[in-house]
Structure 1
């Protein structure tokens, strides 16, 4: 079965009485080059185990199974399970796991399903869970690469450089843990139903942290504070958001110690520059 042929897709869905769910952000691919190119970009090989999120009817699952040693796909919508049983029939290296990716222990699942294999993550992520899903995949700390198709605007935000309008706290989070790379764009016409936005395929490769941080929780607290009020200076943003931890004088002194301009804004700082004041003045014990 051609899982990207629109007529075969409609017949398949009709046969199973399936209806698209807007709340689950379901958009199925109708161009076969898209899942093929995503699977190729993922780096999947016989020595890899691939965790997929939201397989839909399985076009990307199918392409991954042709390359990887094993594919485990986590699907939340139980109405898709009988469809996947049909479309993945005969693919012995594919397992469909019912569940919510945001409530799954990804490190434990990966250890259970991929013994002896290099874990990868690859997915056409539902738009409504893009940021939390990416956060969960990164925080699992087990994937050699994470390749996802997401909204172009989110991909641009993840890859944004300091001083640009798209640069923000999520940019810093993703770039602190990984080296993100925008690979290619996918127009709305490649989906059924067609979304209102263009998609993009992004690959994130884990890397050593680009700054020395001895307390990551505190560092990201400072990051969120720095971007909470973009029009304010870094000193004023931190003062507003961290008033229970520091005085304004503490924050101004930390910024001065780090050699930053008094009127610098958080959106202009790279990761090492954000890390400097976070390290200079640590939060007092609670």
Structure 2
């Protein structure tokens, strides 16, 4: 069954309607589907988790190429169709869950206890970052992730220091993985057609992180502050984390880190952020984290 035939069958079932709030856009191009699976490097020895199988178009390709495959789908209207059309595959498992709450580690332990799994996903654009960061920060045994995302997000993930796309997301993703933008995808190969271009990006998880962080929470607090107001110099961008009278101490920390205070956050690489974090921790750690928590409480109100 071709992708278009599968989508037609799904729509004719009368139980499914595209839900804009879930960001549903189904791939229809066989060539793109094949490129996606090739980019993931799937073999029969691999266990795969697919996030958002939709009509099962990518899922079927994965089931034909991989070992055990777990598909995690949030839309209950798609569950009967996926169960019916993919039931012939003995290596198929389907969860009706929000991936942000799904116990992925449990499935991994049961199905791939001795080697990392591969993630494949056509992610809803509105929730791309939370899903990616959950997968990275939970320290799951993942080998790599091949993700269909908004083109702009792919550029930000892969961006280098000093470029316009480089930001907090770039630092966060590159801290955990090597990022490679695989290929662009036209809006014309989706139903419904999205208003923006897409791209496939591959994240290969580092065996050893590029920097060692004693206090990751502080590291990310400083990264977010540095990029919070891109036009500000680093010393000014970080100053809201400390009382005004401590500006001189901030300058001293930057000097100790060999970072010119007039630089902007977008010019710092991960190693420089890590060095800054280490020195900042020695000088300010307790008060900085208290200020950060207070700021978060205010934002939630």
The normalised TM-score by structure 2 is: 0.89
Partner of 2:202: 203
Going by fraction, where is helix more abundant, 1 or 2? Answer: 2
Partner of 1:216: 216
Instruction: Evaluate the alpha carbon distance shift between residue 119 and residue 232 of structure 1 in structure 2; reply closer, same or farther with a 3 A threshold.
Output: same
Residues 184-203 of structure 1: CA deviation (Å, up to 9, x unaligned): 01100000000011110011
Which of the residues 124, 127, 130 maps onto 1:129?
127
Partner of 2:299: none
1:114: Cα distance to partner?
A: 2.9
- Paired residues of 2:48 and 2:68 also in contact (CA < 8 A): yes
- Paired residues of 1:235 and 1:251 also in contact (CA < 8 A): yes
Q: Counterparts of 1:37-186 in structure 2 under 5 Å?
A: 37-141=35-139, 142-186=141-185
Deviates more, 1:188-197 or 1:117-126: 117-126
SS at match of 2:154: helix
Stretches of structure 1 that go unaligned for 5 or more consecutive residues are none
Residues 128-153 of structure 1: CA deviation (Å, up to 9, x unaligned): 21111111111232210011100000
Partner of 1:278: 277
Partner of 1:193: 192
Instruction: State the alpha-carbon separation in 1 of the partners of residues 244 and 34 from structure 2.
Output: 50
* C-alpha RMSD of matched pairs (Å): 1.7
Residues 147-170 of structure 1: CA deviation (Å, up to 9, x unaligned): 110000000000011111111001
1:8: Cα distance to partner?
A: 4.5
- Paired residues of 2:6 and 2:57 also in contact (CA < 8 A): no
- Paired residues of 1:13 and 1:19 also in contact (CA < 8 A): yes
- Paired residues of 1:47 and 1:118 also in contact (CA < 8 A): no
1:59: Cα distance to partner?
A: 1.0
The normalised TM-score by structure 1 is: 0.94
SS at match of 1:123: strand
